[in-house]
């Protein structure tokens, strides 16, 4: 196998589909939150970080509690979205 094709395989496996979908959903939540309550452009970056952390916490909490209201593959959409919005609300209240 050629070196370039091995490198392509390794690079393609860095971001799994569930992780990419998590980032997509967290990004959508951050953009919606910013459109509703954001003031400055730099807040969008902070909101994105808060949304990713919140979605991850919601995901891990759902797995720990054994909840599965609405899932796509291994992602818990409802719990992750709730966690994401909680993270966004906390970030906004702390005025980061």
- The confidence band for 63, taking pLDDT boundaries of 50, 70 and 90, is very high
The single-letter DSSP state of residue 74 is: T
DSSP H helices, the chain, are 3-12, 17-37, 41-65, 77-94
What is the model's pTM? 0.82
Strand partners, 75: 72
Question: How does pLDDT run across 12-47, given as a tens digit for each residue?
Answer: 567 899 999 999 999 999 999 999 999 898 899 999
Q: What is the pLDDT of residue 3?
A: 56
Count other Cβ atoms within 10 Å, centred on residue 67.
14
């Amino acid at each position: 196998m050629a070196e370039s094709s091995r490198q392509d395989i390794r690079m393609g496996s860095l971001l799994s589909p569930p992780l990419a979908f998590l980032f997509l959903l967290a990004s959508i939540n951050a953009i919606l939150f910013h459109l509703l309550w954001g003031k400055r452009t730099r807040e969008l970056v902070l909101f994105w970080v808060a949304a990713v952390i919140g979605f991850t916490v919601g995901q891990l909490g759902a797995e720990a509690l054994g909840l599965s209201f609405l899932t796509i593959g291994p992602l818990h959409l409802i719990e992750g979205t709730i966690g994401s919005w909680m993270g966004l609300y906390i970030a906004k209240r702390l005025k980061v």
